[in-house]
Chains A and B, each alone.
Chain A
Amino acid sequence: MFKDFLEHIFPRLILEKNLRITYTFCFGGLAFTAFMLLVVSGLLLLFYYQPSPEKAFESILFLESSVPGGRFVRSLHRLTSHALLVLIFLHTLRVILTGAYRKPRELNWVIGFFILASAVFGAYTGYLLPMDQLAFWGTHTGMELIGTAPFGEMIGHFLVPDEVGRPVSLLRFYTLHIAVIPLTIAILCFLHFYRIRHDKGVLPYL
């Protein structure tokens, strides 16, 4: 199974005419690049961020004022996260307009949807981490919204066992943001790529 998986990650051959940029605009590839950039810049931020309500904002002030390149790395992480969402949505739009969601590739559409949902969730959990006023009230708004959804209260109890911005909920958002969600996205991405190769028989390209 693993061998089969690895063999499908990279294509055996590609037709040159199918690489024309105007067909896919490489939105998916760009989105994955943004994801990798987020992993790298996020890893650097981990060296300075302290996930406790008292220390979080302070550690970011320290990062921005005293660390060479700290502000750059943080801005990069923030801007790339915006870029990732924009690119995923453009990719989704392209998939809809070219009909790439149709049989027999419907499974990849579903996987892609879960990647989109994970990315949105990742952006939301990352929003609280700076613990400034915008983060705090933004997350409050988000939790109120989640509360109105079906099973919203259950999800709310899981995400915020104490209160928004209190130690346990901040730690929970942190864990989700730096470990659970990136891992989920990475696994789903590779499944996504595997399915592309796997379904190549029916593609007009590849």
Chain B
Amino acid sequence: MEKAGKSRRRFLKAVAFVIAAGLLLWKFLVPKIAKKKPLLRVAKADIPAGGALVFRKSRVAVVKKGDDIYALSLACTHLGCTVNVTTREFVCPCHGSIFGRRGEVLKGPADRPLERLAVAEHGEFIVVLS
């Protein structure tokens, strides 16, 4: 009787172990990949040609250059301050990094260009995805 109880306990332990290991393995193998959500909706006509529309709150600049429209994140790639938009470039107030119109680094300490956000066209509107 005692022997049966022991083997049952061992069996239950094994089952619990297998379930726990299986759950961890499942979590590892099926990661939640964040779907891109729409962040902003901008009318194409609102973006000045050769200029940029700045959304300080969502830290995004929508830039139009010729026919090309792209969205740049305004978070400095150095330490994440919001960069200021001047007529020619993006200047970080914290450590003086300067980025060009296309987000490329003109002056450090930042070493990566400003992040480009995905944009989708919906007729007359541009939707910026985060």
Contacts and interface: CB of A to CB of B under 8 A. Distances in A.
A73 B31 contact: no
Contacts of B24: 69
A70 B33 contact: no
Most A C-beta atoms less than 10 A away, residue of B31, B33, B34: B31
B33 A47 contact: no
A66 interface: yes
Interface in B27-43: 27-29, 31-34
A44 B34 CA distance: 21
A68 interface: yes
Contacts of A73: 28
Could you say which interface size class chain A belongs to? under 10
A93 interface: no
Contacts of A70: 28, 31
Interface residues of B, number: 8
A66 B28 CA distance: 10
B29 A47 contact: yes
A47 B25 CA distance: 11
Nearest to A66: B31
Interface in B10-34: 24, 27-29, 31-34
Contacts of B34: 66
B28 A44 contact: yes
A67 interface: yes
Contacts of A69: 24, 27-28
Interface in A26-85: 44, 47, 66-70, 73
Interface in A91-109: none
Contacts of B27: 68-69
B50 to A, nearest CB: 33
Nearest to B26: A68
A70 B32 CA distance: 12
Nearest to B31: A67
15 contacts: A44-B28, A47-B28, A66-B31, A66-B32, A66-B33, A66-B34, A67-B28, A68-B27, A68-B28, A68-B31, A69-B27, A69-B28, A70-B28, A70-B31, A73-B28
Interface of B: 24, 27-29, 31-34
Interface of A: 44, 47, 66-70, 73
Given A68-B27, A69-B27, 15 more contacts: A44-B28, A47-B29, A66-B31, A66-B32, A66-B33, A66-B34, A67-B28, A67-B31, A68-B28, A68-B31, A69-B24, A69-B28, A70-B28, A70-B31, A73-B28
- Which 4 A/B pairs are nearest by Cβ-Cβ distance? A67-B31, A68-B27, A69-B28, A66-B31
